[in-house]
Amino acid sequence: MAGTAAIIGGGVIGGAWAARFRLMGWDVRVFDPDPESERKLSEVMANARRSLPGLYEVALPPEGGQTRHATIAETVRGADWAVESVPERLNVKHAVYAEIQAAAPGIVIGSSTSGFRPSELQQGAAVPGNILVTHPFNPVYLLPLAELVPSPANPPAVVARAREVLTAIGMYPLHVRKEIDAHIADRFLEAVWREALWLVKDGIATTEEIDNAIRYGFGLRWAQMGLFETYRVAGGEAGMRHFMAQFGPALKWPWTKLMDVPEFTDELVDLIAGQSDAQSGRYTIRELERIRDNNLVGIMRSLKGYAGDPKAGWGAGALLREQDRAMRGPDPDLSRPIPTVKRAVPLDWTDYNGHMNEARYAQAFNDASDRLMELIGIDGDYIGGGKGTLFTAETHVRYLNEVNIGDTIVVTTRVLRAEGKKIHLWHEMRVGEALVATGEHMMLHVDPATRKTSEPAPEVAARLAAIAAAHAGPLPEGAGRFVGQPK
């Protein structure tokens, strides 16, 4: 699903919304009176374009276009969805909604507000039921969470439409069942923020030490299991009940000052700002964003796990795997060289020169063989059921040209031979029209119980034979070469 999104407010959040919509194939129309907005939007888009495609094992859809408009009315006319990301002042938001609904009364408006309840946003609106909260987290183009907060005034169809749009652009719509100030996630963040201020003010920890406590400890656990599942594991074999019995009484101890907050004096502001400068001042904001994006891509890609592992996919990784499947599309025509891989080269596949390193060529060809296995029926059920699997007995890779970060590689696979236990595959990797590498795999069908070669199941053997017959023809140039062979 794609369409046109109207982005009202192109700042940090609005600009990142625009980037996510565009990279998921939507056209965007932007209104922002800031004379610097075009530059800022361009810089945010460059960061998003560099990082988001690497989260997926399937190439993103063709990138949507972007236009800027002089008025809100012009921006929303003809759009399918509206995003409001203007400053957190209720009177400003009300004025924006009035302009939007005067020009496009039927459009659904998702507000990025981090604090206002939807019923507050809807006050005085011409069509209150078309306004709800879709609160994201920065950077919106990478983090998938969006708190979807309706009020009783929102019809079920509007909530369903919001869920549909958010899901289509790869986000996780967390439906908040009852509206509340600051929704869900920011209430947690507010509690942590208040305690952090006290720890700094009382001289117990510096800003950097507090950040280290999060990023080297519980933050990594929260990223893949959240709060309650983490505590369930902490309870051991007895589970959550044991954990609550053991640690519940600690809630009565005076560990925190969460019911109070230190006064924001000049001295406290100077203390925190000075420590933050000492911690991170050697980097520019853009450098910090790129460092952040690199780390987020690595964390979330790692949470996806291995493609063939039925237990893989935790936290955000499970969502990415679902989006991969959604973007892959229907199975290809098997009677011709089969497109088995189509993906952008992610950040963690490159070396110090910005080129895809040698191991990742092999990874791409391995992924191509895995995809072929799925297509011929050697999938998780086949392997898990003990029917067999494929082992690679021999590989030969030719590196014909450079591949750079962000390039979209396409691998096509040809079955050169399928005779009983042996399967001979030929892979060609292209960037655009250019052939950049070839990979040759000799694979053996193996019984996973005995670890010895075995005949594939009849249905698999029949599929392989049909594909090999369809792919028959002269051997491709380079097939059968060995290392060092004269050209």
User: Is 105 domain-assigned?
Assistant: yes
Residues whose CB falls within 8 Å of the CB of residue 197, separated by 6 or more in sequence, listed in order: 261, 262, 268, 272
Q: Mapping DSSP to helix (H, G, I), strand (E, B) and coil, where does residue 259 land?
A: coil
- What is the CB neighbour count within 10 angstroms for residue 309? 10
* Residues 66 and 126 grouped into a single domain: yes
What is the count of structural domains for the chain?
3
Rg over alpha carbons for the chain, rounded to the nearest Å, is 27
Burial category of 362 from C-beta neighbours within 10 Å (exposed 0-12, middle 13-18, buried 19 and up): middle
Asked if 82 contacts 131 with a C-beta cutoff of 8 angstroms, the reply is no
pLDDT of residue 247: 62
* Residues 404 and 338 grouped into a single domain: yes
* Residues 251 and 166 grouped into a single domain: no
Question: CA nearest 155: which of 132, 137, 180, 171?
Answer: 132
pLDDT in tens, the chain (487 residues): 789 999 999 999 999 999 999 999 999 999 999 999 999 999 999 999 999 999 998 999 999 999 999 999 999 999 999 999 999 999 999 999 999 999 999 999 999 999 899 999 999 999 999 999 999 999 999 999 999 999 999 999 999 999 999 999 999 999 999 999 989 999 889 889 988 999 999 999 999 999 999 888 888 888 878 888 887 777 777 777 666 666 656 555 555 555 666 776 888 878 877 888 888 888 887 888 888 888 888 888 888 887 667 677 888 888 888 898 889 888 899 999 999 999 999 888 888 888 899 999 999 999 999 999 999 999 888 988 899 999 999 999 999 999 998 999 999 999 999 988 999 999 999 999 999 999 999 999 999 889 999 999 999 999 999 999 999 999 999 888 777 777 6
Question: CA nearest 360: which of 303, 327, 403?
Answer: 403
User: Is 475 domain-assigned?
Assistant: no
CATH classification of the domain holding 415? 3.10.129.10
* Residues 33 and 86 grouped into a single domain: yes
CA distance 366 to 349: 14
User: Is 318 domain-assigned?
Assistant: no
Q: Of the candidates 115, 144, 175, which is a domain's last residue?
A: 175
Kindly state the tokens that stand for 406: 């962000």
Asked if 166 contacts 176 with a C-beta cutoff of 8 angstroms, the reply is no
* Residues 64 and 92 grouped into a single domain: yes
* Residues 63 and 142 grouped into a single domain: yes
Residues whose CB falls within 8 Å of the CB of residue 325, separated by 6 or more in sequence, listed in order: none
Q: Of the candidates 149, 175, 201, which is a domain's last residue?
A: 175
User: Is 51 domain-assigned?
Assistant: yes
* Residues 351 and 419 grouped into a single domain: yes
Pairing verdict, β 81-84 and 66-68: unpaired
List the beta strands (DSSP E) in 243-358: 338-344
Asked if 53 contacts 59 with a C-beta cutoff of 8 angstroms, the reply is yes
CA–CA distance from 319 to each of 12, 143, 308, 326, 376 (Å)? Answer: 24, 11, 16, 11, 26
Q: To which residue do tokens 């190439």 refer?
A: 59
Q: What is the pTM of this model?
A: 0.80
- What is the CB neighbour count within 10 angstroms for residue 196? 17
Q: Of the candidates 147, 175, 203, which is a domain's last residue?
A: 175
* Residues 402 and 424 grouped into a single domain: yes
User: Is 215 domain-assigned?
Assistant: yes
* Residues 167 and 192 grouped into a single domain: no
Pairing verdict, β 408-419 and 338-344: antiparallel
CATH classification of the domain holding 251? 1.10.1040.10
Domain that holds residue 12: 4-175
* Residues 17 and 164 grouped into a single domain: yes
Burial category of 284 from C-beta neighbours within 10 Å (exposed 0-12, middle 13-18, buried 19 and up): exposed
Asked if 141 contacts 164 with a C-beta cutoff of 8 angstroms, the reply is no
* Residues 170 and 193 grouped into a single domain: no
User: Is 476 domain-assigned?
Assistant: no
CATH classification of the domain holding 74? 3.40.50.720
User: Is 314 domain-assigned?
Assistant: no
User: Is 477 domain-assigned?
Assistant: no
* Residues 166 and 93 grouped into a single domain: yes
pLDDT of residue 248: 59
Asked if 297 contacts 346 with a C-beta cutoff of 8 angstroms, the reply is yes
Q: What's the gap between Cα 265 and its chain centre?
A: 40
